[in-house]
Structure 1
Amino acid sequence: MFRQQRRRLVLVVATVTGVLAATGPNAMAANAAAADQALASGSKQSVIVVLRNQHPELSPKAQRNQRKQTVGQEQAPLVDQAKQVGAQNVKAFDVLNGFSAKVTDAEAGKLATDPNVAAVVPDRTRAVKPLDAGQKQQIQAQAAADQPLAAGACPTDPAKPILEPEALQTTHTAFTNPSLPQAQNIVDGKGVSVAWIADGLDPNNPDFIRADGSHVFTDYQDFSGTDPNGPQSGEEAFGDASSIAAQGRVTYDLSNVVAAAHPLPKGCNVTVRGIAPGASLVGLNVFGSAELVTNSIILQAIDYAVNNDNVDVINESLGGNPFPADGVDPVALANDAAVAAGVTVVASTGDAGPSGTIGTPAVDPHVISAGSVTNYRLYAQTGERGARTFAKTWANDNMSSLSSGGIDDLGRVPDLVAPGESGWSVCDADPRFAGCTDEQGRPSNIRTFGGTSEASPFIAGGAALVIEAYKNTHNGARPSPQLVKQILTSTAADLGHPAYEQGAGEMNTYAAVRAAMSIQDGNGKPAAQGAGLLATT
């Protein structure tokens, strides 16, 4: 009996010893390799890994090196883990604490479970949707014979061109009559740097060169991954840059660019000037020859603007409509960090109509969200939408039916509006810029431009004027992005539309500049310019 019990003991010990041997170093390595193989198996998808701690206490500008070191250390083990199982196209960011990569669903799931990770989200694409030939033809179609040309559509004296776009007048920014109150009599954006994120253009366009020979563009970068000298639209980039800082030095005869069905008399001359022609531009090409861009490329552009240039304002005439649009996507988080670093960000609300359609990043409460109102002088000139068939004059300053509005997922409405329907933009007749065409589809150095994509750079230019005006009366200090937004919204003109369409109203740069010069705070106590109030919550 005793011997049998002893035999059982020996067997048990042997079994236990066997288990211990099975979990030894070689077996553990084999198990880890098998686990890695499982994580690496399957097709790969592009994702963005957003870390939980975005370190708002570390400014990407004021504490740049410390922030880069801190977020780099936090990202390193996650990046290494992803690379061990075959992650591709890894891009690290520091304005947003996160990185993008192409990984399997299994690896994305593992990264999402890490306690230091807030979310692993798809690297969403954002589309450029140019009008197709049929849509252009429909817009330009003639219903009947034109009415006589409306007064003011062309100059009475060709030697005195009309100042375009009409937004310069309706926002009280600039008039050909210098005696009229206008913002550009006071400031023009000098000393302020504005970056825009769009497609490509030619920075050497004659209307981007100042009278003294200096260039408006101080920097131009291509993040698209496509051939920087290859074919691309250029419509958005030229439109953004022109709306902000075109110089108005070139004269264009509109009779050479309108459709043959709606002719204009020879000498219908115009010049095109930006809202802030004294500002410097930083061009950030993310689309190139593609019609889609991923969020990770946009993040690279934001990183560059905040880290590598002394940029004061970023314009983002782009967006998407994920559901819910709650302002926590990677681009919105990067914009939050940019604003915290002292950069004013302006984003278009979108072109999807007035009810519950505001896209991201415009839903972000830290940016200035830009909706669109009408300017119809261009339609009187081109005859588009029946303007010269049925109308003898035109009315401005009504909400554009295309302007995205409503109450967004964060319970907010647009911040303010600016003209987006429609204006003239400088362009480049170089055939590689497919979007630079006239009303007959021919390569052209001037073209129409509109939508909230136009309203947004107008407001970015307005922000540049506010920043310069504030600096001039506050010992060179720059206003915070929050103050820039407060000034622009407080001085906007109420158009009588619901707030969920117009926000605070239409931008009035003259009133905004005077308010900026009057702020009494820790940076200065200048004399008041006029009378006005700053709105607060």
Structure 2
Amino acid sequence: MRSRGRLRRSSLIAATVTAFALTGMAPAYGAGSAPAQLTSLAPVSDTLDALLATASGDEPATVLVHGTRLAAAERAVSQAGMTQLTSFRKIAVVAATGTTEQVNALRSADGVTYVENNDPIRFFASAGTTATRSVQARESLVDGSGRPLDGTGVSVAVIDTGVDPNHPAFRADDGSTRVVANLKSLCTGGTDTGCIVNLPTVVDTDTLSVGGHGTHVTGIAAGTPYTLSGDTRVGGSAPGSKIVSISTGAALLILGSDAALNWVLENHAAPCGEGVSASECPPIKVVNNSYGPSGGGEFDPNSATVKLQRALAAEGVVTVWANGNDGGDGSESLSNPPGQDPTPGVLSVASYNDQGIGTRDGTVSDFSSRGDAADRGTWPDISAPGENIVSACRPYLPICSTGLEFFNGPGALDVGTYNVISGTSMAAPQVTGIVAQLFQAKPSATPGEIEDALKATAYKYADGAPYQPYEGYTSSFDKGTGLADTVAAATRLGASTG
């Protein structure tokens, strides 16, 4: 294998993928739209039927009028006194605005076949925890002490651009932050001491030029669950866990991220210091890394990164990597180099698209880096949702401002505090939080046992390259062993129903 002869500048693995989907609508009679005495009225969509049933007559309405021919629809709109906005010539549909009384009038016009409401639409997006059954594990499984499987008793470390510890996503029941350690790596050269600086947990370290990435990633791993507007559910895989954030700032270099990994290696047993109880600040059992070089690269077993993650595995800590956002077709490896480490307990995560609805039979994200089909050591280990993921953000942070759709948080002042972003950066923390849940299920598990539980129980969604036998599992160069299944993996490790 080729070793890296110099430090390679790394980049955050987050690709914002614009995906716009319209809700499908089939012609249907509303509950009260076609009684016997009004059989000549054109049918309407369910939402328009509900509007017409409650409207006084002068309420504004925008509708799509379907006709036997375009001219028939246009004539009906004109005769009703409505204003035509546009038309779809080839399907004989006219968009028009007017009052609900005028809508009712045009329904009886010759040639009108159907009228539908101008329904609001939104981006399909999810927190990702439905597809992985992480939320189901929290709601249906308990650990040996009877506690819900939410990552309690585990700290997760996130090496990224930092975190906003005061974001509602990290708020505990008593109002305090679940960020128990807030650190900054200053190892950018010129000093051999004081690389990792301890900051107050109330300080926002996620405000530099690519600020927002770390907060979004941390929310996916460990965010507090809420139901926002439109019944949008947010929250991480392990909302009962504690959070250790290590900020490398905007200029990610191998030295800074390796210093962060080294800090975890030296402090994972007591991340808040020897005098702080494990109940207040549990040991770190998993570390998330959503960064890497663009274009992948060859695995370098001699690198400091690999030596650090192998030492972490030997001391009981799982390391999770985003596999990269370079796509590919299997003709070469575009996988993140350190994630290719075969050491048990080092996991690389491909991005899965749950279609924004939590389906378990979705697709491999187009942007998700593929391994070399002929070199199984380059394949990702497992998949998790990474496309159109709703998580913690602040509208003034650069990454968040490029998101697809803002959502307001749970409080009156939490305006625009969630957004939709895509990338394997978002897939990796799904697994990071799941690993915390699995360590809660079996605290004595080794990193190898955690990896085995995930791979052996992964859900075999069909999209993409076929699965092939590999090291006791079946895997593929684009999606690894399949979609992470938290319920199945936790049950394998001894979790039981509550």
- The answer to whether the superposition gives a TM-score over 0.5 is yes
Aligned match of 2:484: 507
Aligned match of 1:373: 352
Could you tell me whether the CA contact under 8 Å between 2:138 and 2:148 is conserved in 1?
A: no
2:126 pairs, out of 165, 168, 190, with: 165
Aligned match of 1:215: 177
| 1:1-400 alignment runs, 5 A limit | 121-128=5-12, 139=18, 148=25, 165-174=126-135, 186-224=148-186, 228=205, 231-249=208-226, 251-253=227-229, 268-286=230-248, 288=249, 290=250, 292-308=251-267, 309=271, 310-320=283-293, 321=295, 323-354=297-328, 355=330, 356-366=333-343, 367-377=346-356, 396-400=361-365
Q: Distance in 1 between matches of 2:489 and 2:311?
A: 25
Q: CA deviation at 1:423?
A: 1.4
Distance change (3 Å), C-alpha of 1:128 and 1:313: closer
Aligned match of 2:457: 491
Could you tell me whether the CA contact under 8 Å between 2:405 and 2:420 is conserved in 1?
A: no
Q: CA deviation at 1:186?
A: 4.1
Distance change (3 Å), C-alpha of 1:232 and 1:332: same
Q: Distance in 1 between matches of 2:135 and 2:19?
A: 30
Q: Distance in 2 between matches of 1:441 and 1:516?
A: 38
Distance change (3 Å), C-alpha of 1:482 and 1:445: same
Q: CA deviation at 1:185?
A: 8.4
Q: Distance in 2 between matches of 1:512 and 1:395?
A: 16
The SS at the match of 2:291 is: coil
How does the TM-score come out when normalised to structure 1? 0.57
Q: Distance in 2 between matches of 1:141 and 1:272?
A: 20
The structure with the largest alpha-carbon Rg is 1
Identity of aligned residues (%): 25
Q: CA deviation at 1:363?
A: 1.1
**One-letter amino acid of the structure 1 residue matched with residue 427 of structure 2:** A
Aligned match of 1:48: none
Q: CA deviation at 1:130?
A: 6.9
Distance change (3 Å), C-alpha of 1:248 and 1:129: closer
Distance change (3 Å), C-alpha of 1:194 and 1:441: closer
Q: Distance in 2 between matches of 1:203 and 1:248?
A: 16
Could you tell me whether the CA contact under 8 Å between 1:194 and 1:279 is conserved in 2?
A: yes
Q: CA deviation at 1:243?
A: 0.8
After superposition, the C-alpha distances for 1:109-162 in whole angstroms (9 at most, x for unaligned) are xxxxxxxxxx8931221024777xxx88xx3789xx87559xxxxxx9xxxxxx
**One-letter amino acid of the structure 1 residue matched with residue 304 of structure 2:** P
Aligned match of 2:377: 411
Distance change (3 Å), C-alpha of 1:319 and 1:399: same
Question: Number of matched residues?
Answer: 343
Could you tell me whether the CA contact under 8 Å between 2:287 and 2:432 is conserved in 1?
A: yes
**One-letter amino acid of the structure 2 residue matched with residue 238 of structure 1:** T
**One-letter amino acid of the structure 2 residue matched with residue 169 of structure 1:** T
Q: CA deviation at 1:229?
A: 7.5
How does the TM-score come out when normalised to structure 2? 0.61
The SS at the match of 1:436 is: helix
The SS at the match of 1:428 is: coil
Q: Distance in 2 between matches of 1:223 and 1:410?
A: 34
2:399 pairs, out of 421, 427, 435, with: 435
**One-letter amino acid of the structure 1 residue matched with residue 363 of structure 2:** N
After superposition, the C-alpha distances for 1:317-362 in whole angstroms (9 at most, x for unaligned) are 1122464334433212221121122110011111111422112111
Q: CA deviation at 1:492?
A: 0.7
Could you tell me whether the CA contact under 8 Å between 2:388 and 2:420 is conserved in 1?
A: yes
The SS at the match of 1:493 is: coil
Distance change (3 Å), C-alpha of 1:303 and 1:421: same
More helix by share: 1
**One-letter amino acid of the structure 1 residue matched with residue 441 of structure 2:** A
Is structure 2 residue 392 aligned with structure 1 residue 426? yes
Distance change (3 Å), C-alpha of 1:166 and 1:246: closer
Q: Distance in 1 between matches of 2:241 and 2:221?
A: 8
2:366 pairs, out of 384, 398, 401, with: 401
Could you tell me whether the CA contact under 8 Å between 2:386 and 2:423 is conserved in 1?
A: yes
**One-letter amino acid of the structure 1 residue matched with residue 398 of structure 2:** A
**One-letter amino acid of the structure 1 residue matched with residue 162 of structure 2:** G
Q: Distance in 2 between matches of 1:294 and 1:454?
A: 20
The SS at the match of 1:313 is: strand
Distance change (3 Å), C-alpha of 1:196 and 1:166: closer
The SS at the match of 1:495 is: coil
Q: CA deviation at 1:416?
A: 0.9
Q: Distance in 2 between matches of 1:439 and 1:412?
A: 31
Could you tell me whether the CA contact under 8 Å between 2:389 and 2:421 is conserved in 1?
A: yes
Q: CA RMSD in A?
A: 3.6
Could you tell me whether the CA contact under 8 Å between 1:416 and 1:504 is conserved in 2?
A: yes
The SS at the match of 1:377 is: coil
Q: CA deviation at 1:245?
A: 1.1
